[in-house]
Amino acid sequence: MHEWLSAITNSTVLVIDAVVLVIIAIGTIQAFVQGLRVMLLPSATGHERRDVWLHYARWLVAGLTFQLAADILATSIAPSWDELVRLAIVAVIRTLLNFFLERDLSEVRRRQFEPVDSKSTSE
């Protein structure tokens, strides 16, 4: 039974890792192409540059979330203390990265939807 669960878990981790690779590769290629376009356009604004970053950050958050799930599954088979410590360190790092990316996304979203200051509209 243990061998069967280990085989399924290992296969699942491999599939999740492949999904993460695809997610991050697509996001990176898309951000690179959009970033080049924005950098080469003389009319590009800071908002357009920020939108490229936000879109890329969404891809990275998705990839980090899936990768953490794969790490948890991989460690669940037969965890040793070394594997548990490694998982804990990786989980903390990924969780912090995810937290800061989400915070940046939320702050930019909030700024995008803030009402325009009444002083700036009257000038």
63-107: per-residue pLDDT in tens?
A: 988 988 888 888 887 678 887 887 888 788 878 887 887 787 787
Q: Chain-centre distance of CA 112, in angstroms? A: 21
pLDDT at 115: 67
In a domain, 45, yes or no: yes
- Compute CA distances 57 → 36, 52, 81, 88, 92, whole Å: 17, 9, 33, 23, 18
Return the pLDDT at 16: 96
Give domain status of residue 122, yes or no. Answer: no
Counting the structural domains of the chain, the total is 1
Query: How many residues in the chain?
Result: 123
For 10-67, the pLDDT digits (tens) are 999 999 999 999 999 999 999 999 999 988 887 777 778 888 888 898 898 889 889 8
In which residue are the tokens 């990275």 written? 60
Residue 120 counted as domain residue: no
| Residue 123: inside a domain | no
- Whether 55 and 34 have beta carbons less than 8 Å apart is answered as yes
79 in a structural domain: yes
- Position 37 in a domain: yes
Q: Is residue 119 part of a domain?
A: no
- The domain in which residue 63 lies consists of 2-113
User: Over 60: is that where the pLDDT of 117 sits?
Assistant: no
Sign of CA dihedral 68, 69, 73, 76: positive
Q: What's the sign of the alpha-carbon dihedral 55, 61, 64, 70?
A: negative
